[in-house]
Structure 1
Amino acid sequence: MLWNTNHINVRISEANSQMILVTISKQNYPEWMLAAVYASPNPRTRDELWDSLETIAQNNQLPWLLVGDFNDHASLKEKRSFSTNQNLSHSLSCSRKFVNHINSCNFIDLGCTGPSLTWSNNRQGWAKTLIRLDQALCNAEWRTRFPKGFVRNFPRTYSDHSPMLVCTQDNRETEEMIQKRRYRKGK
């Protein structure tokens, strides 16, 4: 997490191997929470994260945004694999469980522009798998406070994950910055 201390104050509320939870404040603006998430690939350990998130959601009144790698996907549309070793019933069961966690916390998926499948196993041909593991979720209070907030995913370059930019407001400066970077890389 990076921030400009001249513009905002960030207080860490909780930090563990799967999440950093902070409260963000700025002069003359109400506070809100941000959770940077790296959910464990181990389903049992990931369940511990969701237990913690559900507890926080039940006791929280602040606008809240969660961003990161949830190591899970919400539907079969969020996974593209040509492997014949796929267990569809297991994949459906995992997707349902993930959606149930999201719903139990009353989170809203912010969606995205750019590549929607954010992770690749970096294999070629029939062995290639793409999944939407990275996303931004928020509560209704955050969405109300930042109605023009959006998520922009960029193409994968050096990592197996797509870089993600989350903006709290829709402004021309952000889009111009994105266009300039894209133009420079195209040269």
Structure 2
Amino acid sequence: KVNLVGLLETKIKSNKFENIVNKMFSGWNNINNLGEHYNGRIWISWRPDYYKIQPKMRTAQVITCEITYVPLKLQFMLSRVYAHNTREERKELWETLVQLSSNCQKPWLILGDFNSVLKMEDRMGGNPVAWSEVVDFQNCVDTCGLIELLQQGQKYTWNDRNGDHRLFSKIDWMFINEIWLNTM
């Protein structure tokens, strides 16, 4: 049974949010980043009998919350990411995550669409990955002390073009901090 949902790239304007969320998640609590981005790129919805969620930071690219899973009284931080498409715009996200990590004393889960590859082998087809494409993301992951959670299923989570020119990239990521590793 699903009790907590994070949606990305909803493209729902603020005047339609309440109507849609009431149809999809009746009786649930919700937060979004419509105040930070006109398309409300990130939604988090949850059943209040299972979770208590306190938003800590909202930007156009990330929502970070303190979460308590009520049945087990587990507390952790969650950052739901939907990064901008350009390297320059993502720099703000990397700075935000570094700032959050410096103050985080709880288990922390960071997941979403980072719109960036992390390593050279995270793209297949097209031009080879340039160091400049990965350096900012790698520095952020290293500075924050994040540990990649391995995912099952398809390695590449995004593709473009057709036929012989098809391009595949891994741009969806899940990370935890060391506190999560040691306590959850």
Q: Please, what TM-score do these two structures have when normalized by structure 1? A: 0.70
**CA-to-aligned-CA distance 1:113-142 (integer Å, 9 cap, x gap):** 100111111x22222111000010110111
Aligned to 1:131: 169
Counterpart-to-counterpart distance in 2, 1:75 and 1:49: 18
Identity %: 26
| Gaps in structure 1 of 5+ consecutive residues | 147-187
- Structural mapping, 1:60-139, within 5 Å: 60-81=104-125, 83=126, 86=127, 88=128, 91-121=130-160, 123-139=161-177
Contact 2:94 2:136 in 1 (8 A): no
Q: Give the secondary structure class of the aligned counterpart of 2:46.
A: coil
Shift of 1:79: 0.5
Shift of 1:99: 1.4
**CA-to-aligned-CA distance 1:60-84 (integer Å, 9 cap, x gap):** 1011111101111111211111x3x
- Number of aligned pairs? 140
1:24 to 67, 72, 78: 67
| Gaps in structure 2 of 5+ consecutive residues | 1-43
- Structural mapping, 1:156-171, within 5 Å: none
Shift of 1:11: 1.2
Letter of the aligned partner of 2:157 in structure 1? T
Structure 1 runs of 4+ with >4 Å offset? none
Letter of the aligned partner of 1:99 in structure 2? Q
Aligned to 1:55: 99
Quick check: 1:140 aligned with 2:178? yes
